[in-house]
Structure 1
Amino acid sequence: MARTAPSRPAPAGRPAPLAALAVTAAGTAWLGAVDPAGSGLFPPCPVPRLTGLLCPGCGGLRAVHALAGGEFGVALGANALVVLGAAALAVLWLAWWLRPQRPPRVRAWHAGAVLAVAVGFTVVRNLPFGAALSP
């Protein structure tokens, strides 16, 4: 009896990347229309209130608001890590779009690398020489 190769699932096509893009675009458009700094819709971040330190996400909503308005310098000033993360996600999405049958794989070390960058960013932005990274 001859062995047959295991069947591969059919390529998913592009509905998943398009759905991810639509959800991201809708959220970004809404955040672009609503100013997080002055709308009163968003509660203040509890980390600086409780610790006096800036977390890696502080200024993230303002950064996305500025990106949606095309203000890249303002976005970088609000949270450079969010801007770089958005650029990385855009590159990953493009790879997913170009090869939907083989989406980019997330490996265990990726989570460790993201955590290390976030911790490093947090430490630097809370030191006197990292004041430029503060929102």
Structure 2
Amino acid sequence: MDASPAPSAAQPPDPESESPPDHGPTPLTVCPTPDMATPPAGRPPAPEHRTGRAGPTGRVRRLATPVGILAAVAGAFAYVGTVDPNEPGHYPVCPLLQLTGVLCPGCGGLRSAHAFIHGDLGAALEANAIATVGYFLFAAVWVLWLVRAWRGQPLRIGLAPVWWWGVGAVLLIFTVVRNLPFGSALAP
């Protein structure tokens, strides 16, 4: 006589071998909010994050990237401020200008940076108005980045696609106008 159970006989479930029910994908959160302190049933608790009370080491680590970026930009500006781009032979010629004779949106940017470093805002705007506006925009975003890093908050600047298309349209219009006879004021 065979002592093995029949295939149709139900066996009780083994609690050790059962896996928890799948409730779908776990949402991705960078910094959990206080209302997420208790994980939903069946999910493991989220890892602990240090928020608010970061020690000096954590703050230094958070500030390293924005300060490093500022150091690189300041070094580049110091070089351009020292080596005059108005003197021929110090910098390469714009390839688009050399090949086609068309001024790109960046043409005059080094002369603009040189004038900006020396405090001549009028000459900086004449050399490249878009670049000069970009210097101020960079400074504003960098200050925001530094303040948020100091507070332990990430820098999140989410721009809708319409803004990116707007920036592209402004650069295109600037490029076309500065290459036309009536837009010679925008040419370096």
The TM tier, using the shorter chain, reads 0.7 to 0.9
Q: Residue 93 of structure 1: which of 112, 135, 142 is its match?
A: 142
Aligned-pair distance for 1:131? Answer: 1.4
SS in 2 for 1:13: helix
Aligned-pair distance for 1:40? Answer: 1.1
Q: Residue 78 of structure 2: which of 6, 12, 29 is its match?
A: 29
Q: Residue 124 of structure 1: which of 174, 177, 180 is its match?
A: 177
- Identical aligned residues as a percent: 44
CA RMSD, 1 decimal = 2.3
SS in 1 for 2:62: coil
The aligned counterpart of 1:103 is 155
Matched, 1:53 2:85: no
Point out where structure 1 has 5 or more consecutive residues left out of the alignment.
Answer: none
Aligned-pair distance for 1:29? Answer: 0.5
Structure 1 residues 106 and 39, CA gap change in structure 2 (3 angstroms): farther
Q: Residue 165 of structure 2: which of 91, 102, 112 is its match?
A: 112
Report the Cα distance in structure 1 between the residues aligned to 2:145 and 2:80, rounded to whole angstroms: 25
Aligned-pair distance for 1:48? Answer: 2.3
Give 4+ residue runs of structure 1 displaced > 4 Å after superposition.
Answer: 5-12
Q: Greater relative contact order: 1 or 2 (C-alpha under 8 angstroms, separation 6 or more)?
A: 1
SS in 2 for 1:61: helix
* Greater helix proportion: 1
Query: What do residues 26-62 of structure 1 show as CA deviations (whole Å, max 9, x unaligned)?
Result: 1100110001121512121122232222110110111
Q: Is the 8 A contact 1:92 1:104 kept in 2?
A: no
Point out where structure 2 has 5 or more consecutive residues left out of the alignment.
Answer: 1-19, 21-37, 40-44, 52-57
User: In the alignment, residue 92 of structure 1 is paired with which amino acid?
Assistant: V
Q: Mark the structure with the bigger radius of gyration.
A: 2
> Aligned residues, how many?
135
